[in-house]
Amino acid sequence: MKAPELSVILPAFNEAKNIPLIVDKIAAVMGDTPFEVIVVDDDSPDGTADVTRSIGREKPYVRCVKRINRRGLSGACIEGMMAANAPVVVVMDADMQHDETRLPVMLAEIRDGADLVIGSRYVDGGAASSGFVKKSRAKGSELATALANRITGAYTTDPMSGFFMMTRDVADRAARVVSRDGFKILFDIVSRFGHDLKIREVPFQFRERVEGESKLGFLVTVQFLGLLISRYTGGFIPVKFLLYGLVGFTGLFVHMATLLLLNASFGVGFATAQIVATFAAMTSNFAFNNEVTYAHRKLTGWRFVTGLLTFYIICGIGALANVSISVRLFEWDWSAALAGFAGALMSAVFNYAVTKLVTWRDT
């Protein structure tokens, strides 16, 4: 077996039916060029990993990287890129929505000196509409592309593409910095390194998915918005902190609704109502963060309960620190508003940093 010149990374969640088909399609277009296929599976219940391994027993150029207790397309791509042997790496969907016949064309561009080659649906000769079952997805994708372009500039017509090829060097640089959450790894790469990469585009037609279903849902959209804002601030504010803040904001509404309902409608005393409202807000914050901010480390069963308890305790400490610091600042002649704000901001950062480490063990 010859050393591979191209590593094809296929992130896959519940794609057992598609893997055998896509592997054959790739093999059919690669001709004499030695290549390898790495399927990165996140412990899919449909047996994607088993299917891949059984193919690998007959076709040793096919391998599976199986991740346990982890989810997320971007993280899966990086893991695959890091397991790759070839000097050139390409990421493509495992569901056959990406046109594998473009692979040799993209490889030729890299050999011609490009660092990053993007399969684009929005350049002449490309097309997106057929791949989107719902009109709203097509519109959403256009909007996201326009927003992303405001940051990434004119580097690419399709920063949201999930189909892109790069040199080993780009892959290694990207792996150190890009966000593990969500779908938008290419956008992340281009917005960080676009200025010093030679980027080329190859048009392709986004095909319809035949088997299985899309995993791009509400969560992925929220994570993307977080990434956009994070990149807008030049990466200064981490995506998770933004999501945490967003969740905190919803907590404010839960708090007020509970307080008013109990106090005004049911005549519960203010202090009691305020205590119940505080716990209601903390509980809903915990649950939302568990679903959205820490989707990739979601706590379930008994760990949900112990996680909630640590969350209560840490937020309690944060609140105490908030009060003591803002009182001190107020004594130092800060205005009430400024002292209050500084205390709240400090406790938000404290709560974020500590619950990240302790509650979700996200290091």
Which residues sit at the interface with ligand GDD, rule CB under 6 A? 11-13, 15, 40-42, 71-73, 76, 93-95, 97, 141, 160, 162, 183, 214-216
CA distance 38 to 211: 20
Residue 138 or residue 353: which is nearer to ligand GDD going by CB?
A: 138
Tokens for 286, please give them. 């915990």
* DSSP, residue by residue, 107-127: HHHHHTT-SEEEEESSSTT-B
Asked if 52 and 14 count as a contact pair (C-beta separation under 8 A), the reply is: no
The item of Mn ion, ligand GDD, none sharing an interface with residue 107, based on CB under 5 to 8 Å by kind, is: none
Length of the chain: 363
Is 149 a binding residue for Mn ion by CB under 5 A? The answer is no
Kindly indicate which of the ranges 90-98, 115-123, 253-261, 323-331 contains the residues binding Mn ion, using the contact rule CB under 5 A: 90-98
Query: Please, what is the minimum distance in Å from the beta carbon of residue 141 to Mn ion?
Result: 12
Query: Please, what is the minimum distance in Å from the beta carbon of residue 48 to Mn ion?
Result: 14
Query: Please, what is the minimum distance in Å from the beta carbon of residue 64 to ligand GDD?
Result: 11
Is 95 a binding residue for Mn ion by CB under 5 A? The answer is yes
* DSSP, residue by residue, 250-277: HHHHHHHHHHHIIIIIT---HHHHHHHH
Instruction: Burial-class residue 80 by CB neighbours within 10 Å (0-12, 13-18, 19+).
Output: buried
Residue 128 or residue 242: which is nearer to ligand GDD going by CB?
A: 128
Query: Please, what is the minimum distance in Å from the beta carbon of residue 2 to ligand GDD?
Result: 27
Tokens for 351, please give them. 């709560």
Query: Please, what is the minimum distance in Å from the beta carbon of residue 92 to Mn ion?
Result: 10
The item of Mn ion, ligand GDD, none sharing an interface with residue 41, based on CB under 5 to 8 Å by kind, is: ligand GDD
Residue 93 or residue 109: which is nearer to Mn ion going by CB?
A: 93
The item of Mn ion, ligand GDD, none sharing an interface with residue 40, based on CB under 5 to 8 Å by kind, is: ligand GDD
CA within 13 Å, CB half, 57: 5
Query: Please, what is the minimum distance in Å from the beta carbon of residue 95 to Mn ion?
Result: 4
Helix, strand, or coil here: 6? strand
Residue 91 or residue 262: which is nearer to ligand GDD going by CB?
A: 91
Instruction: Tell me how many helices (H) and strands (E) the chain has.
Output: 12, 7
Considering only residues 7, 14, 52, 97, which one is a binding residue for Mn ion as defined by CB under 5 A?
Answer: 97
Kindly indicate which of the ranges 39-47, 91-99, 244-252, 264-272 contains the residues binding Mn ion, using the contact rule CB under 5 A: 91-99
Residue 53 or residue 215: which is nearer to ligand GDD going by CB?
A: 215
CA distance 6 to 3: 9
Residue 173 or residue 298: which is nearer to ligand GDD going by CB?
A: 298
Asked if 148 and 159 count as a contact pair (C-beta separation under 8 A), the reply is: yes
260-281 CB burial, b ≥16 within 10 A, e <16 = eebbeeeebeeeebeebbbebb
Backbone φ and ψ for 128, nearest 5 degrees, come out as: -115, -35
Query: Please, what is the minimum distance in Å from the beta carbon of residue 296 to ligand GDD?
Result: 8
Helix, strand, or coil here: 200? strand
- Nearest residue to ligand GDD, by Cβ distance, number only: 162
**Beta 6-12 vs 35-41: how paired, if at all?**
parallel
Residue 71 or residue 102: which is nearer to ligand GDD going by CB?
A: 71
Kindly indicate which of the ranges 97-105, 276-284, 307-315, 329-337 contains the residues binding Mn ion, using the contact rule CB under 5 A: 97-105
Query: Please, what is the minimum distance in Å from the beta carbon of residue 6 to ligand GDD?
Result: 18
The item of ligand GDD, Mn ion, none sharing an interface with residue 72, based on CB under 5 to 8 Å by kind, is: ligand GDD
Asked if 52 and 124 count as a contact pair (C-beta separation under 8 A), the reply is: no
CA distance 180 to 296: 9
Query: Please, what is the minimum distance in Å from the beta carbon of residue 79 to ligand GDD?
Result: 8
Looking up tokens 């917005």 gives 191
Residue 40 or residue 171: which is nearer to ligand GDD going by CB?
A: 40
Contact residues for Mn ion, defined by CB under 5 A: 93, 95, 97
